[in-house]
Structure 1
């Protein structure tokens, strides 16, 4: 019960509080408050602070992050490249150099913060808590399903979105499970979000896109299948490449509220 309450507090805080604040400085401050909040809740439910939910700087953490970022970024670029080739997307032009700086900052910073906090809640907190209580297969299944349903905050609810998020959740959860820290997971999440953000901007803020593109509305069997084929192909690749990742070790760099 404490674990469920803790999850609800973290999830509702992140998805409701910052977006209700119109001032960007207040939004940023409220986002930073998430980390001490997560620390105390993790302690309350018996986990070791932020360290206990995967926020550790172990040997190889940066390599894990960069590998995963590359996977997410490249697979999503391939997806969009196929859509350009198939006529679902049309390139209109570039923004003026003076108009690009702020959108790039918004995409890089906004999606990094959003990715790592979402991963700390779903994989770091929820999956870690579940695997201590139930069999690992059930922990995988429940955390991936919760992730798919939780994506309602960003994409709305539909069966296709749930299926997409379940397939994507396989890569995210597996990367977290095999490495023992958040970085391999967040790298994938951040990489695909950056690829998305360059073309479409932040969710709900298309003006933050770097390139100017147009969705034509033209659909084919291939374009509809990409929604599932790309995350599935990425999962197969992650399954094979995970052997080259570094596993979490207990010698870590201290971070605020780490435990």
Structure 2
């Protein structure tokens, strides 16, 4: 509600960015008010290995989404037109990298950090996963509109993001995945609502096949399997409850 009532309504991009950053003190005080430990209580814990978690996850998210775009180019769903000139692209690319970092982090702090930590000791963790993933899907619906396809896509993707958060106990593995796939998207489409901020110029051909439609499910599903395998390389902050565990085989 905050983002749709304030930043989205501001026309000046600097005011939008400044009001977006106000989220962090707002989140700090609200989380304190409900009994969590500020931003730390939402998973922003700078524990040993947090940079490694972020980097591993970034490579996974970016890599799988680049594979998806590569397949779309190969089968003819997308057509490569060109690259924006360096003079015209420097600031837009900076906007993509900064905007998606802040956006990914904020979404993860709310949808996973807040939800998981406020509910993990009250209900079984499986229900926590379900609630978090459904909120993530509804958040996508808020911005992208409803479709069965988008909802299934969000649910599958949300499973990887929620698992990465829960198993590490901090935001960084989750945000790395989210940021990586957003950056891959941003290279071709720019920031949401601002295609001029993309690095590459691409055209959707309208050529769709059954495989093209399934690709939106296959890639996030494969990424989930890969995240399951990669869990052994992540570092844990050990901040989540040890009494309400959910286990997955690798």
Question: How far is the alpha carbon of 1:16 from its aligned partner?
Answer: 3.5
In structure 2, the residue matched to 1:111 is: 100
For residue 146 of structure 1, what is the aligned residue in structure 2?
135
1:236 aligned partner: 225
Cα distance in 2 for partners of 1:213, 1:223 equals 17
Do the aligned partners of residues 249 and 143 (structure 1) sit closer, same or farther apart at CA in structure 2, a change above 3 Å counting? closer
Q: Do residues 223 (structure 1) and 212 (structure 2) align?
A: yes
Matched residue SS, 1:219: coil
> How far, CA to CA, are the matches of 2:232 and 2:3 in structure 1?
33
1:135 matched residue in structure 2: 124
CA shift digits 1:232-253 (9 cap, x unpaired): 0000000011111000157xxx
**Could you say what the CA RMSD is over the residues aligned between the two structures, in angstroms?**
1.0
1:26-63 CA-to-partner distances (Å, cap 9, x unmatched) read: 11111111011101110111111100010111100000
2-structure distance, mates of 1:90, 1:140: 38
Gaps of 5+ in 1: 1-11, 251-259
- Check the 8 A contact 1:176/1:185 in 2, yes or no: yes
In 1, Cα distance between the equivalents of 2:17 and 2:197? Answer: 17
Q: Cα–Cα, structure 1 residues 164 and 206, in superposed 2: closer, same or farther, change >3 Å?
A: same
Distance 1:184 1:16 in 2: 30
TM-score (norm 1): 0.90
Secondary structure (helix, strand or coil) at the match of 2:79 reads strand
Secondary structure of 1:92's aligned partner: strand
2:62 and 2:177 in contact (8 A); partners too:
yes
Deviation at 1:133, TM superposition (A): 1.2
Distance in 1 separating the partners of 2:51 and 2:14: 29
**Higher mean C-alpha displacement, 194-203 vs 152-161:** 152-161
Give the one of 202, 207, 223 matched to 2:196. 207
How many positions carry a matched residue from both structures? 239
Q: Is the 8 A contact 2:168 2:238 kept in 1?
A: no
Residues 1:32 and 2:21 aligned together: yes
